[in-house]
Amino acid sequence: MDIRIDGKIAVITGGGSGIGAAICREFARAGAYVFVLDLNASAAEGVAEAIRQSGGQASGRKVDVTIQTEVVALINDIVQETGRLDILVNNAGIAQVGTLDQTSEADFDRIFEVNVKGVYNGMYAVIGHMQAQGAGVILNMGSIASVVGLPDRFGYSMSKGAVTAMTYTVARDYLKYNIRCNSLAPARVHTPFVEGFIAKNYPGREAEIFEKLSRSQPIGRMGTPEEVAQLALFLCSDAAGFITGTNVPIDGGFINLNT
């Protein structure tokens, strides 16, 4: 299907690179006006400029998703500028390696601030506007880590489990306002973030670890940002109007086919 979201106002956090940038490009291609939000202002504007040069509509904005006042003020500005807000994709997030005993309080607090509080702040900032207009779609970036036990990912799994739980309760609480809320649960996706993560945590073993992580998906490879973006577009479009309160895996068979 050629899924369209013409005229929709979409906000994507963590839109300056990787999966977030792919979602921004895909939503703009499908007709949305995209606000690219990122902590890195130049990265956000770079994605927005590339979209504009391709004939799409986009604007880059800097925001720290861990600071509620920043997020609320920016969302209010966007709604004042455009008159509405149709789609929020909470994509900004960080990773962390370690078992429980290897996870310091500082590690725990940092991943909670970005991956949990950041998602909360995004939803908190948009929900009143979506209630007022009587419609809206929220898509949170979860992970297979919220469904299965991944080794050495205590803090990350905690954070993505919280994202899934928040998704379910927001979907239920705001049904009466015609607001849908879902989450995506990707397995490993080949992005610059993953390459940097491997280089930082497994120096000298990059090729070995990349191959190992690729083979952990039964399909035999990592996903691509574009594949995640296409599923995100579907879930945020009217074609998915009967889907809410769901954590949708995109995992190359990881959850059900691994033994």
What residues act catalytically? 156
Backbone angles phi, psi at 198, to 5 degrees: -65, -45
Q: Which long-range contacts (CB under 8 A, 24 or more apart) does 125-131 make?
A: 125/68, 125/71, 125/72, 125/74, 125/75, 125/76, 126/11, 126/75, 126/85, 126/88, 127/170, 127/174, 127/179, 129/75, 129/79, 129/84, 129/85, 130/85, 130/174, 130/177, 130/179, 131/174, 131/177, 131/179
Mapped onto helix, strand or coil, the DSSP state of residue 217 is coil
The whole-angstrom separation of Cα 16 and Cα 255 is: 29
Nearest of 141, 35, 25 to residue 86 by alpha carbon? 35
